[in-house]
Amino acid sequence: MKLALLGAGRIGQVHAANIHLSPRAQLHAVVDVNPEAASALAQRYGAKASTDPKAVLNDPALAGVLVCTSTDTHVELILEAARRKLPVFCEKPIDLDLAKVDTCLQEVQRTGTPLIIGFNRRFDPHFRTLREGIRKGEVGDVEIVKITSRDPAPPSPAYVRTSGGIFRDMMIHDLDMARFLLGEEPVELFATGSCLVDPGIGQAGDIDTAMVVLKTQRGALCHIDNSRRAVYGYDQRIEVFGSKGMLQAANPVPTTVTRYTRDTVSVDKPYHFFLERYPEAYRAELDHFLDVIEKRAEPMVTGSDGRRSLILAEAAVQSLKLGRPVPVPG
Amino acid sequence: MKLALLGAGRIGQVHAANIHLSPRAQLHAVVDVNPEAASALAQRYGAKASTDPKAVLNDPALAGVLVCTSTDTHVELILEAARRKLPVFCEKPIDLDLAKVDTCLQEVQRTGTPLIIGFNRRFDPHFRTLREGIRKGEVGDVEIVKITSRDPAPPSPAYVRTSGGIFRDMMIHDLDMARFLLGEEPVELFATGSCLVDPGIGQAGDIDTAMVVLKTQRGALCHIDNSRRAVYGYDQRIEVFGSKGMLQAANPVPTTVTRYTRDTVSVDKPYHFFLERYPEAYRAELDHFLDVIEKRAEPMVTGSDGRRSLILAEAAVQSLKLGRPVPVPG
Amino acid sequence: MKLALLGAGRIGQVHAANIHLSPRAQLHAVVDVNPEAASALAQRYGAKASTDPKAVLNDPALAGVLVCTSTDTHVELILEAARRKLPVFCEKPIDLDLAKVDTCLQEVQRTGTPLIIGFNRRFDPHFRTLREGIRKGEVGDVEIVKITSRDPAPPSPAYVRTSGGIFRDMMIHDLDMARFLLGEEPVELFATGSCLVDPGIGQAGDIDTAMVVLKTQRGALCHIDNSRRAVYGYDQRIEVFGSKGMLQAANPVPTTVTRYTRDTVSVDKPYHFFLERYPEAYRAELDHFLDVIEKRAEPMVTGSDGRRSLILAEAAVQSLKLGRPVPVPG
Amino acid sequence: MKLALLGAGRIGQVHAANIHLSPRAQLHAVVDVNPEAASALAQRYGAKASTDPKAVLNDPALAGVLVCTSTDTHVELILEAARRKLPVFCEKPIDLDLAKVDTCLQEVQRTGTPLIIGFNRRFDPHFRTLREGIRKGEVGDVEIVKITSRDPAPPSPAYVRTSGGIFRDMMIHDLDMARFLLGEEPVELFATGSCLVDPGIGQAGDIDTAMVVLKTQRGALCHIDNSRRAVYGYDQRIEVFGSKGMLQAANPVPTTVTRYTRDTVSVDKPYHFFLERYPEAYRAELDHFLDVIEKRAEPMVTGSDGRRSLILAEAAVQSLKLGRPVPVPG
């Protein structure tokens, strides 16, 4: 399957490498607004480079397209693909504007274009095992979900200004994970937070330390905590508690080595950041996209999932602003 | 040091055993409204039995008194001790009514009677190590505290009806722990919860699954989750995250044994409940009381601590009722 | 039950404290060749002090005696107790000379005097759980036992010279544990070792790093490794492998706290040495002695157990000297 | 780099897949005595299939060859490659006959042909971290090495008969690892063992449960234990103890998930067998071979390493037969 990659940035490079490694796929073309970036990545894997996504998408040889560009171009590029009924994989979020997302998804649905959103953590083997355990009834009825998600170091205030803020940019992954694990939609959300890490983030109008509490119709509770800076590395843990037990996914670490000295007993730190933490997830995500292209699977992370997580992120923004819980729109 | 024990119930028996084991103290008298209960416990340790606390407290040989009776009698008994300037150890909560607590504490202060409140978890070696680590700067500025506290099985709805509810009866321990670890007073509190474990608890007007989010003036955040039923045992874990790192206290377990079979790799379950989980804490708590009696230490858990945790529990009740965060009275 | 303690040294003090804490026993007399040591310990617990064991043992009030003196006096003191049919608890080893041990045990048996040998590790809750698991069939047929036993710091060469060497002094505990877990007698033993820690130990004619391999009639194998110096603390671990699985007992640690920093993730070090590592074992050992005195239990660690472990230690000495495996006398 | 793969069996298939995934290499030809096996594997990766290794090795396009055939053909095929100065990767062991190995290695050396032996565990990230830690002085002087190595299920007695026995076939990996970690050659070896798993293995003249103790000139000790059947999976652990501390590598597991239920707290079992346990090692091993071909690295596991481990395996066979330790030939 020949694939086009739109966006040659950090996450685009991850997908390019995985496409290259896959015996099922081939990196056909790389598009980036920066021609050098496109060329450099294309050359590494023997693909064509371009700055013109439309021209590339016109190639009838293409089996699918991955949208890894900046968020404000996602909707336009998804629509270009939808016009050609070309299966699309799009990094999260679809857009920061819910109205634009709605319009886009209607068009995607109208054309019947397969669309997958890049919530990579759903493909992580540790978290999938939680989901599978819930499905098998290992915890009984889910009552409490707790998600810890902390980045190793804060982004620049400049980035924060355009990112949509911590809820739309960072916690959106956790909000999607909450839906994935709760098995029903949250109906109420309370968000709070502080600027404790970098005053520049506060000056940019955002917070860097956040907590959200979700509640479902049935009364299940979910707590998410985010920090933009965990000095010990990327911290991604989940706990699911229910009527019959509990499942926990801890941070995987590079090696199983324990070191004993006169002063301390130590083990490996968590991985540095998402590229080191989620390699299997990115590979599984691509495999799933290839399955969808080949019509061997229905999308596991749909446009609707992308939309629902955005709605939750919006609710968090609202709740933080109002200083009280808000109902989550249906 | 001769001590009087008021209340021969479950927790009174724990203290009686520890007094007996201490080379510094002697169980002088046991008082209970139930004369059989008083006699049985007194006899086991060679103490006098009585149903009349005032008569017992009049004994000039007494060095201190432990109040382990039902909550509604705490204030009266503390005041009896205060009248005699007899050092008091009182199980939490002081009372469910804040006005009564205030009056009581004023009298205690006026008479200069040493008073310690039985927040046993402050004396747990695992949690004390967290507190000590914070004090030494191991996590830098505290930014996030997470407290998990789940009982093995729910109390009867009848008990729930008189207990003051999950916040005053159960979470009050965690609210005290939050203050102990945050190092500053929470200024805002949000509480939510559900009745998921036993409908009878809902009919009694309470919830059995709860989450609370606290925020301090400086912006530090604390999350507490409670469940009245964790099928795998008593679940008491704490995590403190800050600018320089993180400290976690996991559940201690009876043995370090790991079992490998064809089907599974398993380790010990957590302890069943508080009596099994906190034996060292109860012993250390008594030792501290003896130190206070001997004027070798200032009370580490004061009447004011008892009052502040009750104020937080009240705020949680209010927040749950109003469905929004509430400011915590100063 | 009134008990006499012979020997006021380090381990004698452990037993004195536990006798004091036990509601069933009373420390009646302390005997030591050093009158100051006897007085100091006796005074702390309200016991009589003496330098004359015979006089003390003549007291008809005595229910039992604990022999915690230097090894070369054990046999004589056991025999004094046996003459009076006084139940004896004796620290390991009974003696370094097997012939003396045999004579002693014959006399003990002739008089019907209950005798327990102080292999404290059999009473450790972690290791007892292994034994119990084997008994329940959790590992099926035992095929491999691995015992790691390392002290924090080497004794002085002067001590080594009189101790009987690493096998009789240190590994004898592990040889007893091997018998406890294998469930049958070793028939062959191979010992090897080196002097790597302190050349003075080598000059004293001993080694400080040792390995022993045992084989039973059925073909089960056991490996023991000893070092006189583990800089990270007292290292006591056991693994039992069999046809249906494996049981492992790891080192217990003081707290469950994990520390995450920019540089490392660390947990508690093992306990420093046996006094810190085995407090429950010493208490359970005393309880068992009291049960034996009251005829509520048969001795769990008999004179014969003390003799068999000495035979294994002798075999290790022989094997090391000869540089080849030796048969274990029946 | 075009590579020829000789042998399309289980381990050959692992290498074929890794060659296919490597951006640096290409699977050019697959040779197997079974033409169907060669074709099936060749076809999967677009390579040529053949039953004639000589013809394939004559192809001037080849950059290297991997020998994954049955042990008795290794020497002949290495020599064919050496004649063509073609870099060779050969699975262990080189041969079961030391004289043949010597002759072969002399020829390899004479021709200057790069040769790597497939001791995959040296490339495992966990064990490499141990080696690196030793090199950095994290444990000081190495005093004790303990290697546990247990297969999930025994091979058939028929296989055992031709395998060379447990020491040459299975423990040879651990003997190589011992050399890798000890940092000096063992000078003495003691082997013992039993047939506990399958009587058929005993009838085939072999044992299925083994222990070996190695000693180096300096006096460092190493213990290896093997079992042909660990019901809980492939058990591969190593511990290195020294004057400044200890390093342990535990079994990695598929996920970090812990499951709590009413009855048990369980974690993942170890991986099933070597294919699941060592995927990174096989990839790193191939990468190293490619580096050697490109003259960017010297072989990390040489023919001499293959020879030394065979000498140790032979010594183990001798020791078991003689029932005593044997010196290891220099």
pLDDT in tens, A98-110: 999 999 999 999 9
Q: How confident is the model at residue A23 (pLDDT cuts 50, 70, 90)?
A: confident
The per-residue pLDDT for A217 is 96
Q: Which amino acid is at A302?
A: T
Cis link prior to B93 (omega < 30° from 0)?
A: yes
Q: Using a CB-CB distance cutoff of 8 angstroms, which residues of chain A are in contact with residue B143?
A: 194, 196-197, 209, 227
Q: CB of C119 within 8 A of CB of C301?
A: yes
pLDDT-above-90 percentage for chain A: 98
pLDDT digits (tens, 9 = 90+) for C186-241: 999 999 999 999 999 999 999 999 999 999 999 999 999 999 999 999 999 999 99
pLDDT digits (tens, 9 = 90+) for D166-188: 999 999 999 999 999 999 999 99
Q: How many CB atoms lie within 10 A of CB A323?
A: 13
pLDDT digits (tens, 9 = 90+) for A133-178: 999 999 999 999 999 999 999 999 999 998 899 999 999 999 999 9
Put simply, the answer to whether D144 touches C225 (Cβ < 8 Å) is: yes
D21 has a pLDDT exceeding 90: no
Where does residue A154 fall: left (phi above 0), alpha (psi -120 to 50 degrees), or beta otherwise?
Answer: beta
The per-residue pLDDT for C33 is 96
pLDDT digits (tens, 9 = 90+) for A282-306: 999 999 999 999 999 999 999 999 9
pLDDT digits (tens, 9 = 90+) for A41-63: 999 999 999 999 999 999 999 99
3-state secondary structure of B56: helix
Torsion angle of the four alpha carbons B125, B126, B131, B134, in this order, in degrees rounded to the nearest 10: 140
- Two tokens, residue D22: 């490597």
Q: Using a CB-CB distance cutoff of 8 angstroms, which residues of chain B are in contact with residue C125?
A: 254-255
Q: Using a CB-CB distance cutoff of 8 angstroms, which residues of chain D are in contact with residue A23?
A: 20
CA distance D241 to chain C (A): 8
pLDDT digits (tens, 9 = 90+) for A204-214: 999 999 999 99
3-state secondary structure of A292: helix
| Sheet with A48-50, side-by-side order of all strands | A48-50, A26-31, A2-6, A62-67, A88-90, A115-117
Q: How many CB atoms lie within 10 A of CB D283?
A: 18
Exposure string for A18-54, b = 16+ CB within 10 A, e = fewer: bbbebeebbbbbbbbeeeebbbebbeebebbbbeebe
Mean confidence (pLDDT) of chain A? 96
What number is the average pLDDT over the span B195-221? 97
pLDDT digits (tens, 9 = 90+) for D176-234: 999 999 999 999 999 999 999 999 999 999 999 999 999 999 999 999 999 999 999 99
Nearest CB among B232, B264, B269 relative to D269 is that of B264
Q: Which residues are CB-contacts of C296 (< 8 A; sequence separation ≥ 6)?
A: none
pLDDT tens track, chain C, 330 positions: 999 999 999 999 999 999 998 889 999 999 999 999 999 999 999 999 999 999 999 999 999 999 999 999 999 999 999 999 999 999 999 999 999 999 999 999 999 999 999 999 999 999 999 999 999 999 999 999 999 999 999 999 999 998 899 999 999 999 999 999 999 999 999 999 999 999 999 999 999 999 999 999 999 999 999 999 999 999 999 999 999 999 999 999 999 999 999 999 999 999 999 999 999 999 999 999 999 999 999 999 999 999 999 999 999 999 999 999 999 998
pLDDT digits (tens, 9 = 90+) for D130-172: 999 999 999 999 999 999 999 999 999 999 998 899 999 999 9
Chain D touching partners, 3 or more CB pairs below 8 A: A, B, C
Q: How confident is the model at residue A330 (pLDDT cuts 50, 70, 90)?
A: confident
Contacts A–B by Cβ distance under 8 A: 111
Question: CA-CA distance, A266 to B75, in Å (whole number)?
Answer: 49
**Residues B39, B31, B103: CA angle, nearest 5 degrees:** 165
Q: Does A260 touch chain D (CB under 8 A)?
A: yes
Mean confidence (pLDDT) of chain B? 96
What number is the average pLDDT over the span D280-300? 96
Torsion angle of the four alpha carbons A297, A299, A300, A306, in this order, in degrees rounded to the nearest 10: 180
pLDDT-above-90 percentage for chain D: 98
Q: Which residue of A has its CA nearest to D127?
A: A257
The per-residue pLDDT for D330 is 83
Model ipTM? 0.95
Q: Which residues are CB-contacts of A159 (< 8 A; sequence separation ≥ 6)?
A: none
Q: How confident is the model at residue B21 (pLDDT cuts 50, 70, 90)?
A: confident
Put simply, the answer to whether A232 touches C265 (Cβ < 8 Å) is: yes
CA distance C206 to chain D (A): 14
Q: Which residues are CB-contacts of A156 (< 8 A; sequence separation ≥ 6)?
A: A200
Nearest CB among C209, C223, C324 relative to D211 is that of C223
Q: Does D185 touch chain A (CB under 8 A)?
A: no
The per-residue pLDDT for B330 is 83
The per-residue pLDDT for D23 is 82
What number is the average pLDDT over the span A94-120? 96
